[in-house]
Amino acid sequence: MTDQSNAALAKDTLLDIEQLCVVYRGLTRRPVQAVADVSFSIARGSTLALIGESGSGKSTIARAIAGLGPVESGSIRIDGMELTTARDRAAAAGAHGIQIVFQDPTSALNPRWPVWQSIVEPRLRERLDRATQRDIAADYLGRVGLNTRHMDRLPQQLSGGQRQRVTIARALVSRPKLIILDEAVSALDVSVRNEVLVLLDALKKSEQLTYLLISHDMSAVAQLATTVAVLYLGKLVELGPATRVIGQPAHPYSRALIDAVPALNRTARQELPHLGGEIGDPAQPPSGCRFHPRCPFVMDVCRRDEPLLQSHHGGDVACHRAIEINTASSNS
């Protein structure tokens, strides 16, 4: 690669995560390595979806990036700025344009504050007068599809969808570069969820945002993602363009996840047997490939050696048998 294309690549990268490890240490339990050597980057203006069963480490990665959870080792850079070494990591993440929206808007909003106050709160340091604050709140309410009628309501006077729109407005008001959506639409009813997804997609363009989307809802992922990263027990097992990972998942775990959603199995792949067993305990991960106890393609090498991420059809896959099983399934 030439220096010039390296520079172009670097300019295009907003968030860069290298060899991230997170370990939770308790007093009684053995240490839990919840995230192990995870690397990925997110291009400016794109949406990277992080998928994997509950317990795979998605929120741990989200909290590490936002400075709200521990980092054992590795690097998290936004626009080239290292965040893991900051004294106050949460403040550094905010100052460099990272915001996070969680699943539950109720706990994210002060129940005693009217909507306008929650929205402008991240900008109180600017010492704006009250009229200006209300103008800003009104502006951002409009951007998320609400209006001045909602300004003086309390969170409990809003529907779940409206509350989540308020937390999105609150995330937008500090003009972020990256918004982490950690199951941000998961608690909403299907029709409301679709409206909020459409809003998020529109905001991405109008506010020039980049998203890290965490969702167990594959249709949300298919709707928004540019890139998909599949996490299993703290390890990335597959990373690639969304259309390819969703259309032709190469790792047996990705296949099991995506084939479980009938609407996405468009190519009528031969279905894998339903994913049995449980994700397991990151405090005692299986030897070799962490997925091996549940994998229908398991062989001795999988129990013994950890597979590395390797290039595969425009992405990366960590599976000893990726080439073999994908050739076999495309022939069948």
Ligand X SMILES: Nc1ncnc2c1ncn2[C@@H]1O[C@H](COP(=O)(O)OP(=O)(O)O)[C@@H](O)[C@H]1O
Minimum distance from residue 35 beta carbon to Mg ion (Å): 12
176 binding partner (options ligand X, Mg ion, none; Cβ < 5 to 8 Å by kind): none
Q: Report if residue 58 touches ligand X, rule: CB under 6 A.
A: yes
Binders of ligand X among residues 168 to 227 (CB under 6 A) are none
Q: Report if residue 57 touches ligand X, rule: CB under 6 A.
A: yes
Region binding ligand X by CB under 6 A among candidate stretches 57-65, 92-100, 259-267, 299-307: 57-65
Residue number with CB closer to ligand X (176 or 282)? 282
Cβ(316)–Cβ(240) below 8 Å: yes
Residue number with CB closer to ligand X (37 or 195)? 37
Residue nearest Mg ion, Cβ-based = 59
Q: Give CA separation, 306 vs 37, 112, 298, 314, 324, in Å.
A: 12, 51, 12, 22, 17
Long-range contacts of 148-151 (CB under 8 A, 24+ apart): 150/115, 151/114, 151/115, 151/116
Residue number with CB closer to ligand X (141 or 233)? 233
Distance of CA 257 to the CA centre of its chain: 16
Binding-site string for ligand X from residue 7 to residue 36, where x marks contact by CB under 6 A and - marks none? -----------------x-------x-x--
Q: Report if residue 37 touches ligand X, rule: CB under 6 A.
A: no
Region binding ligand X by CB under 6 A among candidate stretches 51-59, 122-130, 200-208, 315-323: 51-59
Q: Report if residue 59 touches Mg ion, rule: CB under 5 A.
A: yes
Cα-Cα-Cα-Cα dihedral sign, residues 303, 309, 312, 316: positive
Long-range contacts of 293-297 (CB under 8 A, 24+ apart): 294/253, 295/252, 295/253, 296/252, 296/272, 297/252, 297/321, 297/325
The Cα 184–Cα 162 span in angstroms is 13
Q: Report if residue 215 touches Mg ion, rule: CB under 5 A.
A: no
Region binding ligand X by CB under 6 A among candidate stretches 56-64, 129-137, 162-170, 313-321: 56-64
Count of residues interacting with ligand X (CB under 6 A)? 12
The Cα 164–Cα 8 span in angstroms is 36
Which of 15, 16, 55, 217 forms a contact with ligand X (CB under 6 A)? 55
Tokens of 285: 């991960």
Residue number with CB closer to ligand X (52 or 288)? 52
Binding site for ligand X (CB under 6 A): 24, 32, 34, 52, 54-60, 282
User: Could you list the residues that contact Mg ion (CB under 5 A)?
Assistant: 58-59
